[in-house]
Structure 1
Amino acid sequence: MDLSLVMSNLLNPPVLFFFLGMSAVLVKSDLEIPPPIPKFFSLYLLIAIGFKGGVELVKSGIGQDVILAITSAILMACIVPIYTFFILRIKLDPYNAAAIAATYGSISAVTFITAGSFLDQLGIASDGYMVAALALMESPAIIIGLVLVKVFAATQNEQDFDWGEVLRESCLNGSVFLLVGSLAIGILTGEHGAQVLKPFIEDMFYGALTFFLLDMGLVAAKRIQDLQKAGVFLIAFAIFTPVVNAGLGLAIAKVIQMSPGDALLFAVLCASASYIAVPAAMRLTVPEANPSLYISTALAVTFPFNIIFGIPLYQYGVNLFWS
């Protein structure tokens, strides 16, 4: 792999602030960010990426390439939880295996945004429809995970499983709802809306991402101790699964002829793991699963791995196959 890609990613200011947050915890600094502030920036990033995606979608139009990409994204969100569930069942019970599988079938919006920042640094263009793929990959993974619990957890009682609540949580989860809603507003307002909101959506974006990744560094470092519960098997799973999923994503992207920029974003979507939407749904619907397992693997292992090594590695794959 080209080390210049790794250095380009590592020297991205938001990524450096992620390390700053991690180092603050490791050296026992009293740096602390009040909880409402990261929540605000999380909501802001969802609005910004959704709105910009909607505007770009208007520019590119909804053609065959868009439909193929979105269909492929939904397909991957269904396939990944199924195959990873059976790998996880080697060591885990059905509840924990399903919860972690759903987590890895879903996506991390912040990893996606960081990959977009990486593409900007390299001057590589991407299309707005990838945001639609991002929005549509959350719910299928949650539903597949819960179906796996239903099928393989023999002791699960029928009355404990409310499918209406499952569908509501997966489709109307706050982050999914805001992202889809912002995408729709971007489509409706188009270029005029982009000009009106430019100071808010464009100029503030990287500052908000920097602040959010600083907080994510603090949170990720605090979760490192939970990895003792995860064990070597889950740590290895959290590192190798993203690479395998990214490889599948790149193969699909090559077959359906995505552009290099879109191929990287698609690979990142396939490789990332949810640490917000899916854990919230799993806590509600699969209380038997241990949150420290599916949150710590996604947040303390897979997220930093993708931020530091994964994105440059996947870009190296794009360079190989799209050169």
Structure 2
Amino acid sequence: MDFLPELASTLLAQMQKPTLAFLIGGMLLAAMSSRLDLPEPVYKLVVMLLLLKVGMSAGISVREAELVALAVPGALAVIAGISIVLLGRMTLVRLRGVSEMDGMATAGLFGAVSASTLAAGMAMLDDVGIAYEGFIGALYPFMDVAALLTAIIMARMAAERRAARGDVAQGGVVAIVGGSGGGQGPIMDWGMIRSILMDTIRSPAISALLLGLGLGLFARPDSVFEGFYEPLFRGLLSILMLMMGFEAWNRLGELRRVAHVYVFYGLFAPLVHGLIGLGMGLIAHELTGFSLGGVVLMAVMAASSSDISGPPTLRGALPEANPSSYIATSTGLGTPVAILSIPLWIALAEAFIGG
């Protein structure tokens, strides 16, 4: 019975940390119809600097990491991203009022990773003195790309099956991209997969993260990292959290245009997904000694939904999907819930592993 009071105490303490305070403050300002605004170029610069910092930190740590210590969490991150999308396919997509294309786009966005939420998790762990692997940022692309690829491929294959059924019903001959007709099911279009993969890698978030990772791994950016990026990290993150809170509140209005089940999904999916990530982190802990902080950040990544790399990738790959469904659900509800739930993952990880 001591667990619940300790959990409540941890949650309350974390709610008072600057990261969550700025997020909540932004939501309050938006609720009061404040005209506070951050120019788009400045917002993009803040995000790029944060991702370069996370990437360089990961690259510097990867240089010294053992292959198994990195490979096991990386594989589990891939499994987590794919599992989240498959769970969305079995739940959200089957609910009334949700089209298969919109549902898969939403599941893909929730399976992908939010750079801002990951950065917030790192800052909160630093605040309480919980250590984590420096290479944790290198796990971001594993989960992100796996989820987006899975969602887009499944959505496109479903669209091909519907088109095939329509052609058959009209007496036409079915021709499926990358496969053959004659009633055969759709097979994997490797050209499409390669295109999706390249679009994802070229997205601003993944590009900045991979650049930082490469610099940290193959160059020696330690001096500029410690003299510029590290001191700016918390200040830049506070600005980002403020604006994310502001945008989250404004996006809530868009949810009125789509099925109410998206509201339910946006509120509860991050918690379920975080438990999946927590479980993967605990497996890595048992297999490789993955740290408590690493377990927390695995849960944070799984609970988050992509706010930078995912939306443009999905808009390009699934133009039929309604952005008001997947972007509004993610930004309006998923991101705030994911960030506010970080204290929960800290408390649960400490309960399973011990602080």
TM-score where L is the length of structure 1: 0.92
The aligned residue for residue 240 of structure 2 is: 212
Pairing 1:281-300 to 2, within 5 Å after superposition: 281-300=313-332
The aligned residue for residue 140 of structure 1 is: 146
Distance in 1 between residues matched to 2:293 and 2:258, nearest whole Å: 34
The residue type equivalent to 1:177 in the other structure is: S
The aligned residue for residue 163 of structure 2 is: 155
The aligned residue for residue 31 of structure 2 is: 26
For these two proteins, the number of residue pairs brought into alignment is 319
The aligned residue for residue 184 of structure 2 is: none
Distance in 2 between residues matched to 1:221 and 1:241, nearest whole Å: 18
Structure 2: gaps spanning 5 or more residues: 165-174, 178-188
Distance in 1 between residues matched to 2:67 and 2:148, nearest whole Å: 28
Q: Is 1:226 aligned with 2:264?
A: no
Pairing 1:30-41 to 2, within 5 Å after superposition: 30-41=35-46
Deviations for 1:238-264, whole angstroms, at most 9, x for unmatched residues? 222222222222222222222111000
Distance in 1 between residues matched to 2:144 and 2:322, nearest whole Å: 20
Moved over 6 A (4+): none
Q: Given the alignment, which residue of 178, 201, 204 partners 1:171?
A: 201
Q: CA deviation at 1:194?
A: 1.6
Distance in 2 between residues matched to 1:174 and 1:276, nearest whole Å: 7
The residue type equivalent to 1:227 in the other structure is: L
Q: Given the alignment, which residue of 275, 281, 288 partners 2:307?
A: 275
Distance in 2 between residues matched to 1:9 and 1:171, nearest whole Å: 34
Q: Percent identity?
A: 25
Q: Is 1:314 aligned with 2:331?
A: no
Preserved CA contact (<8 Å) 1:21 1:217: yes
Q: Given the alignment, which residue of 257, 267, 271 partners 1:243?
A: 271
SS at structure 2 position matched to 1:89: helix
Distance in 2 between residues matched to 1:272 and 1:197, nearest whole Å: 26
The aligned residue for residue 85 of structure 1 is: 89
Preserved CA contact (<8 Å) 1:14 1:211: no
Q: CA deviation at 1:158?
A: 5.7
Preserved CA contact (<8 Å) 2:56 2:225: no
Q: Given the alignment, which residue of 16, 40, 52 partners 2:21?
A: 16
Distance in 1 between residues matched to 2:9 and 2:56, nearest whole Å: 32
Preserved CA contact (<8 Å) 2:149 2:197: yes
Preserved CA contact (<8 Å) 1:19 1:217: yes
Deviations for 1:86-133, whole angstroms, at most 9, x for unmatched residues? 212222222111101111111111111111111111111001221111
Q: Given the alignment, which residue of 320, 330, 335 partners 1:303?
A: 335
The aligned residue for residue 71 of structure 1 is: 75
Decide which structure has the larger Cα Rg and report it: 2
Distance in 1 between residues matched to 2:284 and 2:20, nearest whole Å: 31
The aligned residue for residue 115 of structure 1 is: 121
TM-score where L is the length of structure 2: 0.84
Q: CA deviation at 1:41?
A: 0.2
Structure 1: gaps spanning 5 or more residues: none
Distance in 1 between residues matched to 2:87 and 2:11, nearest whole Å: 30
